[in-house]
Amino acid sequence: MKHLIDRAKYVAGGEEGASNIEIVVWITVVLVIAVALFAFRDKISSFINSSSDTVGNMDTKIKQTNGKI
């Protein structure tokens, strides 16, 4: 067990250890974002579709309100 702790301290220390930890952190962040996007893909897709419909109808809505102001 002591050897394992010493090995972990060696890996985490110094420039090489810092880059290893940085890579692990980046991979973890990317995986969390990927899982969130995958889990909410239907909601994201419906939001984008409704947003594009809203933006597409803006021109008509603006023309309708110009006469009422």
Digit-coded pLDDT (tens) for 46-65: 998 888 878 878 888 788 88
pTM > 0.85: no
**In whole angstroms, what is the distance from residue 67 CA to residue 2 CA?**
80
Digit-coded pLDDT (tens) for 1-39: 888 888 777 777 766 666 777 888 999 999 999 999 999
Q: How far is CA 33 from the centre of its chain?
A: 4
Helix (H) or strand (E) segment spanning residue 5: helix 2-12
Q: Which residue has the higher pLDDT, 8 or 68?
A: 8
